[in-house]
């Protein structure tokens, strides 16, 4: 039990370090929003990740919704409808 509590405390202290470095930026323009959506959509298929052959086919992404109008595991709300 003590090991579990110590491990939990250790993990929580490590997570809190990441929160300090989070760089949230307000989105005031559609151009900036699209830039961020593209980053999110292409990230799983670039660099070291290569989680899918094509960014639209990555199963945990809303890219297929925006590119092909196909919702996979969830129905995202289009940013223009917000």
Q: Classify residue 37 as exposed, middle or buried by CB count within 10 Å of its CB (0-12, 13-18, 19+).
A: middle
Say how many CA atoms lie within 13 Å of 15 toward its Cβ: 6
| Alpha helices by DSSP H, 27-79 | 30-42, 63-68
User: pTM, whole model, 2 decimals?
Assistant: 0.66
- By C-alpha distance, which of 5, 70, 20 is closest to 59? 70
The pLDDT mean for the chain works out to 80
For the stretch 31-49, pLDDT in tens is 999 999 999 999 999 988 8
């Amino acid at each position: 039990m003590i090991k579990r509590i110590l491990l939990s405390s250790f993990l929580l202290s490590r997570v809190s370090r990441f929160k300090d470095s989070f760089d949230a930026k307000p989105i005031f323009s559609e151009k900036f929003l699209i830039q961020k959506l593209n980053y999110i959509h292409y990230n799983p298929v670039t660099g070291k990740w290569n989680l899918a052959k094509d960014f639209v086919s990555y199963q945990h992404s809303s890219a297929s919704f925006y590119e092909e109008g196909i919702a996979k595991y969830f129905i995202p709300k289009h940013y223009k409808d917000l």
